[in-house]
Structure 1
Amino acid sequence: MRKIFDEQNINPHVPGIIILTHGPLAISLVESVEMLCLKVENLAAFSLDENDAPEYYHDEFIKALNAFPKSSIVLLDLFGGTPCNQLVVHMKKNEATCLALTGVNMPILVEAISLRGMYKGNGLLKELKKIGNEGIVNINELLLD
C-alpha cells in the first residue's frame, strides 16, 4: 500500500480530505492537484495495491479518518470496490457516519479543496457530485456543435 498522510501536520480547523482508490490513483491525484494548488493541508491518499490485505488498508486509512476533524470527507474511486467496502465495514462496525462520495476525479478533488470550508455535510457532497458530473465533457460534441 502506498499512502500520503502526515499525522504530525494536521490543522484541526480544516476538514480533511481522504482519497481511497485501487492502484496508484489516490497518490497520483494528490501529486497532480499539488501541481495546481501547491501543498494542500489535511489531504491524505491511500492507494490499495494488488497484494495488500484489506484489513491492513482499512487500519491505515482509519488513522487519517480519526485524526482529521469530524467534518472531513472521503473520496473513493468506485462504489463496491475494496476501498469503499472497507469504509462501509468501518461505518457499520462503529455505527459511524461519514461524508463519502465515489467517482473521485480531478475536478471533484480541486473543488473539494476549495469548498470544504464553505459547505458542510451533505451540502458539500451534493455540490461535489454536481461538479463531478459537469467535469465530464464530450469534446466531440463541442467540436460538432
Structure 2
Amino acid sequence: MVGIILASHGEFAEGILQSGSMIVGEQENVKAVTLLPSEGPDDIRRKMEEAIASFETDEILFLVDLWGGTPFNQANTLFEDKKDKWAIVAGLNLPMLIESFTARFSMDKAHDIAASLIDVAKDSVKVRPESLQPAESKAAAASEEPSKPLPEGTVVGNGKIDIRLARIDSRLLHGQVATAWSKDVNPTRIIVVSDDVAKDDLRKSLITQASPPGIKANVVPIDKMIEVWNDPRFGKTSALLLFENPTDALRVIEGGVEIEEVNVGSMAHSEGKVMINNVLSVDEKDVEAFKKMKDHGVTFDVRKVPADQRKDMWNLLKKTKYVN
C-alpha cells in the first residue's frame, strides 16, 4: 500500500489526519509530520526520513500544506532521487486526503494517486451564495443536467435502478457517506428515503447541498422511492439509498424494491433504546423491522465505513431482550 506523509506548518497535518481517520477509518502507512515554531528545516526533514523508514513500501505520496513552504521544500529535496516512485501534492485539504485514502484500495502507484487528487481538491471548493461561484463552474455543473425530462414509459438501459448500497444511518448524508461510501460504491445519485425529511424544506436543502462533487442528492418520500423503482426511465441510475431507521427500509422492501443487503451504519440513542455497540441503539420496533427484512431474504452488513470489519447483526441484537 502506498505510504502517505502529511506535512505542514504547525499542527495542521496532525489535525487533518485525525479528521480523515474519523471519516474513513484508521489508516496504515500514514504519518503526519509538523514544523513547529521552534524548529527549522532540518527538523522536519528528519521527521520525514523517520516516517519513510517506517513504511514497508517504496511508493511514497507527500501531501503538503503549501507549495514553496519549508515542508514542501524539504520533501522536494528528498524527492529528487525517487521521482519514479514518489509524488508531492501541495494545497492539502480534507477531500484530497480522503480521496488519497480511498484511492489506495485500487491504486498501488503514488503517481496514479497524485494525478487523481487534483480535480477532487478543486471541485471541493464551493461557495454560497451560488452567485459567487465562478461562471465557468456553474456552467459546467448545469451541463450535466438533462435538458428535459424523458417521456413517460421510456425504457433506459435495463429499466431498473441499480442500487449500489442501501444504508441505515440516522445522520443520513454526512462525511462518511459523502466521501468513504460514495467512493466505495460510486453512485450517480444519493437518495434519502424518508417521509419526515421530505416534508422538511430545511433538511432537504441541507442534504442536497451536501452532496459530493459529481453526485446528485435527492430526498424522496417512501412511496416516491417505490414509484422510482418501477419507472424504467431510471435504468441507468446508480443509487446509494439512505434511510433514517429500519422501519423505513422495511416499508420500501415491502413495496417491492429489491434490496438484497442493508448496510447498518449508525442509529442514534434515545430514551427506551438499547445500545448494542458504540454507534447503534435499537428498540423493539427496530428489531421487529430487522426480523421482517430478514424474512424477505435481506442480509445485513454492520459497518460505519468500508474499511471496517463486518459485524454480525444478530449477535449484536442478542444484547437486547428482543432476540434470543
Tell me which interval the TM-score lies in, with the shorter structure as reference length. 0.7 to 0.9
Does 2:74 align with 1:83?
Answer: no
Normalising by the residue count of structure 2, what TM-score does the alignment of the two structures yield? Answer: 0.38
| Worse overlay, 67-76 or 108-117 | 67-76
Residue of structure 2 aligned with 1:133, choices 122, 133, 151: 122
User: How far apart, CA to CA, are the structure 2 residues paired with 1:106 and 1:138?
Assistant: 16
Q: Spell out, residue by residue over 1:66-99, the C-alpha distance to the aligned partner (whole angstroms, 9 max, x if none).
A: 332122211000110000011122234xx22221
**In the alignment, structure 1 residue 96 sits paired with structure 2 residue 85:** no
Instruction: Please identify which structure carries the higher helix content.
Output: 1
Q: Is 1:107 aligned to 2:95, yes or no?
A: yes
CA contact (8 A) 2:79 2:87 kept: no
Instruction: Say if 1:142 and 1:72 are closer, same or farther in 2 by CA, change over 3 A.
Output: farther
Q: Give me the whole-angstrom Cα distance separating, in 2, the residues matched to 1:139 and 1:43.
A: 33
Q: Distance in 2 between matches of 1:36 and 1:132?
A: 17
> What's 2:15 paired with?
28
- The sequence identity of aligned pairs, in percent, is 26
Number of aligned positions between the proteins: 130
Deviation at 1:123, TM superposition (A): 2.6
Matched, 1:51 2:46: no
Q: CA RMSD in A?
A: 2.0
Q: Does 1:67 align with 2:64?
A: no
Report the alpha carbon displacement of residue 142 of structure 1 after superposing the two structures with TM: 7.1
Q: Give the aligned partner of residue 113 of structure 2.
A: 124
User: Deviation string for 1:34-73 (max 9, x for gaps)?
Assistant: 2212311111001111111211210111121233212221
Q: Give the TM-score normalised by structure 1.
A: 0.80
- What is the one-letter code of the residue matched to 1:137? K
Task: Provide structure 2 residue ranges, at least 5 long, that are not aligned to the other structure.
Answer: 139-324
For residues 2-45 of structure 1, the C-alpha deviation after alignment (integer angstroms, 9 at most, x for no partner) is xxxxxxxxxxxx21111001111100001111221231111100
Q: 1:58 to 1:30 in 2, by over 3 A?
A: same
SS of the aligned residue for 1:139 comes to: coil
C-alpha distance in 2 between matches for 1:116 and 1:103: 19
Change (3 A) 1:49 1:141: same
Residues 89 and 22 from structure 1, CA distance in 2 versus in 1: closer, same or farther, beyond 3 angstroms? same
Q: Deviations over 1:114-140 (max 9, x none)?
A: 002323343321211111011111222
2:88 match: secondary structure: strand
Point out the structure with max Rg over C-alpha.
2
1:40 aligns with 2:50: no
